[in-house]
Amino acid sequence: MTLTEKILAAHVGRKVSPGEFVNVPVDMVLANDITSVIAIKEFRRLGVERVFDPSRIVMVPDHFTPNKDIASAEQAKLVRQFSREQGINYFEVGRMGIEHVLLPEQGLVLPGDVVIGADSHTCTYGALGAFATGMGSTDVAAAMATGDIWMKVPPTIKFVYRGQLREWVSGKDLILYTIGDIGVDGALYSSMEFVGESIDALSMDGRFTMANMAIEAGAKAGLFRVDRKTLDYVKPRAKRPYTVHEPDDDAVYDRVIEYDASAIEPQVSLPHSPANARPVSEVKDIEIDQAVIGSCTNGRLDDLRVAAKVIEGKQVHPRVRCIVIPGSQQVYLDAMSEGLLEIFVRAGAAVSTPTCGPCLGGHMGILAEGERCISTTNRNFVGRMGSTGSEVYLANPAVAAASAVLGRIASPEDL
């Protein structure tokens, strides 16, 4: 069996095969200030008084928080009240972070887990060797009541990355390149298993980035095998036992796709699809109005470090708004203690409290008609960050920082 099949089989209690429908016990259920509202209403409709296990449910207000208006305040109030009533894990403003940065950091998701979330980027936790996937709010409501989910076992595609990465190339570039190669439906309802020496060299933050964007290839999940780096990350954080699973040597994969990662340069995905990826050398000289560094994709400490390295001692272009959003309060504190936030502010960037904000066109960086933004977020669909007449270009933090300085899409090497 593959890594996905091993994890699901351990939960089901028997061997599983791709295409088979199974009921699977879950280890963690997640929802945010947008998706929780529907899940709570559907939970009430079931007539169940209490959730199956308060310790295995997390609600994080991160999309429209700090609340931008009365409607978002009412949503957050509903989630807050339900969380208190049920005694579930809840992270208030001031303690919260962007959900997919926060949960691993808090040790709430662990290797071998089955995690579902009412957010498509729940697949982020595959970086820890967990099976994590996004589901609809009604599925989450049922899971909150029963502790189970009903799903089809996905086939697995193995992605092998060989070679040493070039300077300024990160997990973001590997996943953008991959999506550019296979397309936004290239891994449709499949698990993506990432392996190879290039993957082994990635930091945990880089792996979280890759797993996060598996959904942009249509995947059900994106998983990494657990190694020493994973265990070094997990052990100080884990609050409960966990199980490390390994794929069998004779595991059957739907496909195996190999890349020479040493040949990949920093990538930029042009509007209006993550699959519209190009080497940065081919898309220079496109003027921008805004740069966003953050999100559940690239709002971790490594991301802020590399952006600060590029921008230190320089100034954001006078025509550009540069917005930096640490992914959690811990990331914020760490970045502050390292002096990274001062570097950003002195360069003329705005530093925000943790929020999803601009990524979904929520707040804290909405684009007007005709504006262009280079962003470390995960999607650049029409109207994703504001006006349907705006454009979003996806890139890694180093490219976003260099572009903010030069006022155009640029490589750090251009500085």
258-299 pLDDT, tens per residue?
999 999 999 999 999 999 999 999 998 899 999 999 999 999
pLDDT of residue 285: 85
H/E segment holding residue 279: strand 277-279
- Asked if the model's pLDDT at residue 117 lies above 90, the reply is yes
Do the domains 268-414 and 3-259 match in fold?
Answer: yes
Q: What pLDDT does 284 receive?
A: 83
DSSP E strands in 61-144: the ranges are 89-90, 114-117, 131-134
Do residues 299 and 354 make contact, with C-beta atoms less than 8 angstroms apart? yes
Residue 274 is which amino acid? Answer: P
Hunting for tokens 């082994």 — which residue is that?
Answer: 200
Copy the structure tokens of residue 225: 């095998």
pLDDT at 377: 98
Which CATH code fits 3-259?
3.30.499.10
Q: Report the C-alpha gap between 354 and 46 in whole angstroms.
A: 34
Over 90: is that where the pLDDT of 67 sits? yes
User: What's the CA angle centered on 396, arms 395 and 401, to 5 degrees?
Assistant: 95
Per-residue model confidence (pLDDT) at position 142: 97
User: Residue 238 has what pLDDT?
Assistant: 97
Q: β-pairing, 148-152 with 21-25?
A: antiparallel
pLDDT of residue 306: 98
H/E element holding 298?
Answer: helix 295-298
Quick check: 93 pLDDT over 90? Answer: yes
Summarised one tens digit per residue, pLDDT across range 194-212 is 999 999 999 999 999 999 9
Structural domain 268-414, CATH architecture: 2-Layer Sandwich (3.30)
What pLDDT was estimated at residue 216? Answer: 98
Tell me, rounded to whole angstroms, the distance of Cα 218 from its chain centroid. 14
The whole-number average pLDDT for the span 154-182 is 98
Locate the domains of the chain by residue range: 3-259, 268-414
pLDDT in tens, 352-384: 999 999 999 999 999 999 999 999 999 999 999
Model pLDDT, residue 54:
98
Is 90 exceeded by the pLDDT of residue 388?
Answer: yes
- Count CB neighbours of 256 within 10 A: 12
Other residues' Cβ atoms within 10 Å of the Cβ of residue 19: 10
The overall average pLDDT reported for the chain is 97
List pLDDT tens digits, range 296-315.
999 999 999 999 999 999 99
Q: What are 322's two structure tokens?
A: 């540069």
Question: Would you state the pLDDT for residue 154?
Answer: 98
